[in-house]
């Protein structure tokens, strides 16, 4: 597996592939510690693009001062093996200095949306995400970029960014990959103790209950949110960050669930913050 380290190498690689008519470039941005959720994105990219770049970069600007940037898992060797096995052509693994050159003072921010959901509890988080993803899109010039519905608010912010900047890449959203017991895969699941791991199942339980209520005709925000809150409240080490029913495009709260509404949960399980969501049918 070829590992590219500089923006100019990535751009050169992308332009080289494009010289052959019919070739297309897929980009899968990640922070590494790759798992089956990332693998599903890479496979989707390989299925629809002739060449796939997977970026592995723990982006410092999307972490708050008291968050887990320093201890975030870094497993590049295993990441390259997983990327290759799932159809990636190259891995882009730049240094922090490569993506943020000395004196870097340019940021990309989607106003409004960036202060909703995770953006409300993690100030500056989405500004870091939009800044790094725009750098990656400008460098790789992909036809399509692949993201997980797991980070549904991130998807809304990135769709707005791509539309506003009139970027050429198409955003493709892939379903949430879960463990067999329902827990949404996350690199942060590695932080959970065995007891926390068990309690964390309350998130996916609450999501499934919400889906069942909505399917049975219960669309009121207050009832859906309160039911989920009670499921999470039964776990001693869980503290809710937010439970919201929103319009997926604007991230603004809605009182009545409609097809396409986003029901999203963020909760602390011990010291680990986990998220889960569903797009209601
Ligand atoms: P991360 O490395 O956590 O920044 O995630 C990189 C990409 O993988 C993002 O687009 C995530 O939404 C996606 N992703 C993470 N976990 C999952 C999952 N369980 N299922 C599907 N996609 C995921």
* Catalytic one of 35, 38, 51, 125: 38
Residue segments in the chain with a per-residue pLDDT below the cut of 50: none
CB of residue 251 inside a 6 A radius of ligand 1: no
Distance 185 CA to ligand 1 centre (A): 8
Residue ID of nearest Cα to ligand 1 atom 6 = 30
Q: State CA 232 to chain mean position distance.
A: 22
Does residue 82's CB lie within 6 angstroms of at least one atom of ligand 1? Answer: no
Backbone φ and ψ for 195, nearest 5 degrees, come out as -65, -40
41 within ligand 1 shell (Cβ under 6 A):
yes
Q: Using an 8 Å Cβ cutoff, are 141 and 237 in contact?
A: no
Q: Give the pTM.
A: 0.98
Measure the CA–CA gap between 131 and 136, rounded to whole angstroms.
Answer: 9
Cα separation of the two ends of the chain? 40
Which among 157, 239, 177, 153 has a CA at the least distance from the CA of 203? Answer: 239
- Give the pLDDT of residue 223: 98
**How much is the pLDDT for 272?**
98
125 counts as catalytic: no
């Amino acid at each position: 597996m070829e590992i590219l380290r500089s923006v100019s190498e990535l751009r050169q690689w992308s332009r080289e592939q494009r010289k052959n008519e019919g070739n297309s470039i897929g980009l899968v941005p990640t922070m590494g510690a790759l798992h089956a959720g990332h693998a599903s994105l890479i496979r989707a990219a390989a299925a629809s693009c002739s060449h796939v770049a997977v970026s592995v970069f723990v982006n410092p600007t999307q972490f708050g001062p008291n968050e887990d940037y320093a201890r975030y898992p870094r497993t590049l060797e295993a990441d390259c093996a997983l990327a290759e096995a799932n159809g990636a052509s190259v891995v882009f693994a730049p240094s922090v200095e490569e993506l943020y050159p000395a004196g870097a003072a340019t940021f990309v921010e989607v106003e409004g949306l960036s202060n909703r959901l995770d953006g409300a509890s993690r100030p500056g988080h989405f500004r870091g995400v939009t800044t790094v993803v725009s750098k990656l899109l400008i460098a790789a010039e992909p036809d399509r970029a692949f993201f997980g519905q797991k980070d549904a608010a991130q998807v809304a912010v990135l769709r707005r960014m791509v539309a506003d900047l009139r970027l050429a890449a198409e955003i493709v959203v892939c379903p949430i990959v879960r463990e067999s017991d329902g827990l949404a895969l996350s690199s942060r699941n590695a932080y959970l103790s065995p007891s926390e791991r068990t309690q964390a199942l309350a998130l996916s339980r609450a999501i499934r209950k919400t889906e069942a209520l909505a399917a049975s005709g219960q669309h009121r925000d207050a009832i859906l949110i309160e039911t989920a809150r009670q499921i999470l409240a039964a776990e001693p080490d869980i503290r809710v960050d937010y439970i919201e029913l929103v319009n997926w495009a604007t991230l603004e709260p809605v009182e009545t669930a409609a097809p396409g509404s986003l029901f999203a949960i963020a909760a602390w399980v011990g010291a680990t913050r986990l998220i889960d969501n569903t797009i209601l049918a």
